[in-house]
Amino acid sequence: MSHITHNKSKLLGRVRRIRGQVEALERALDTDKGCAEVLHQIAAVRGATNGLMAEVMEDHMQMHVANPSITSDAERNQGANELMDVIRTYLK
């Protein structure tokens, strides 16, 4: 997981921005904003979350599946299986 630690500050920054978007969504709902504004807020949160997911998935694929230093088929398969489990959960 060193690649997560390496990008920790960048990933935490994205999470904090997502938190801000979720808080804006909560405020929009709490103050009875129009449905169009609420839908835009939901779309923004979803887009930000999808972007974070894509970045971490890409890092996982590069480090645990496509990394040329991986010489063990078992290790490469484990990385691919972990990624597939996440994708299946994500698509539900």
Q: In Å, what is the CA distance from 69 to each residue of 7, 32, 46?
A: 20, 54, 35
Task: Map residue 19 onto helix, strand or coil.
Answer: helix
CATH number of the domain encompassing residue 79: 1.20.58.1000
- Number of structural domains, the chain? 1
The percent of residues above 90 in pLDDT, for the chain, comes to 90
> Could you tell me the two tokens for 79?
């990385």
Q: Specify the pTM.
A: 0.85
Note down the domain range covering 65: 2-91
pLDDT per position as a tens digit, 35-80 = 999 999 999 999 999 999 999 999 999 999 999 999 999 999 999 9
C-alpha–C-alpha distance, residues 25 and 44, integer Å: 9
